[in-house]
């Protein structure tokens, strides 16, 4: 009897002690959701007005550079707000999926064509490895899957060295299909690997990369879980990192 009383009392005390923490976490999530929604409108106004100023040929060079700086920072904030809204939707369990049968070849070619100009601008070589045999059709949310692969590509470009190679690969078996983005850059330390999917985590301790808010990989992980997949990180042979997202085939 005494043992039962101790167990009940312990559970009660633990529940009471965790209650404030849960309220704080919920309060933080509510703040992120509200702030993100409130920032959308003024940012849209600022971006549209900076676009108008950039089209103004009467601006002198100094004024034009100032407007370009404002436009760059507005776009950074816009990406941050978009990511925060996605996370807020995840916390509220309001993310929606629109599944359909997709053609894997078309998805990969679209990804390649989207990022080829970006890689060329960054002096990076991009290769797409397509199988000679047709890939099995997938029943999934094409936009969400594309978003995951875009996060991998952005991450690869961010951490690649000048004149290095980025590769897009797909391996399909009877039961699974796996999409990989392989970079030959600086790689990820074992210490960082355990944290890179945490929100707002950045391996760049100096914060020199101002375009990275540490949200991309956390969003990719949550989207992958929604699509019943898993993410695997491996070291690339010779240096670099390989991000793979794997899904079961039904």
| Helix (H) / strand (E) containing 233 | strand 230-235
Q: How far is CA 198 from CA 87, 166, 215, 216, 220, in A?
A: 12, 24, 8, 10, 11
pLDDT tens string 136-183:
989 999 988 998 998 899 889 888 888 889 999 999 988 999 999 999
pLDDT tens string 78-132:
666 666 666 666 665 666 778 999 999 999 999 999 999 889 988 999 999 998 8
- Structure-token pair, residue 100: 């359909």
pTM over 0.85: no
Q: Position of tokens 């375009």?
A: 211
At residue 131's C-alpha, the angle toward residues 125 and 137, to 5°, is 115
Q: How far is CA 106 from CA 112, 138, 146, 188, in A?
A: 10, 12, 11, 30
Q: Quick one: which of 160, 222, 147, 229 has its CA closest to 188?
A: 160
Indicate the pairing of strand 165-172 with strand 176-183: antiparallel
Q: Note whether 107 and 237 are within 8 A (CB).
A: no
Q: How far apart (Å, rounded) are the C-alpha atoms in residues 230 and 179?
A: 11
Q: Quick one: which of 154, 172, 163 has its CA closest to 209?
A: 154
């Amino acid at each position: 009897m005494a043992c039962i009383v101790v167990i009940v009392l312990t559970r009660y005390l633990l529940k009471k002690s965790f209650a404030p923490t849960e309220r704080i976490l919920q309060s933080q999530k509510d703040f992120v959701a509200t702030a993100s929604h409130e920032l959308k409108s003024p940012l849209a106004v600022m971006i549209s007005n900076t676009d108008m100023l950039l089209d103004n040929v009467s601006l002198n060079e100094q004024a034009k550079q100032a407007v370009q700086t404002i436009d760059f920072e507005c776009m950074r904030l816009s990406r941050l707000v978009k990511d925060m809204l996605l996370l807020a939707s995840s916390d509220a369990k309001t993310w929606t999926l629109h599944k359909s049968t997709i053609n894997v070849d078309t998805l990969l070619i679209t990804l390649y064509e989207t990022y080829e100009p970006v890689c060329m601008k960054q002096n990076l070589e991009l290769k797409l490895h397509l199988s000679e045999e047709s890939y099995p059709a997938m029943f999934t949310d094409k936009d969400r899957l594309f978003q995951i692969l875009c996060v991998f590509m952005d991450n690869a470009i961010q951490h690649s060295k000048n004149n290095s190679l980025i590769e897009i690969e797909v391996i399909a078996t009877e039961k699974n299909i796996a999409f990989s983005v392989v970079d030959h850059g600086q790689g990820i330390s074992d210490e960082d690997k355990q944290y890179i999917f945490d929100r707002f985590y950045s391996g760049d301790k100096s914060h020199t990369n101002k375009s990275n808010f540490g949200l991309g990989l956390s969003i990719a992980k949550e989207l992958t879980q929604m699509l019943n997949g898993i993410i695997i990180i491996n070291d690339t042979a010779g240096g670099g990192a390989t991000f793979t997202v794997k899904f079961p085939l039904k």
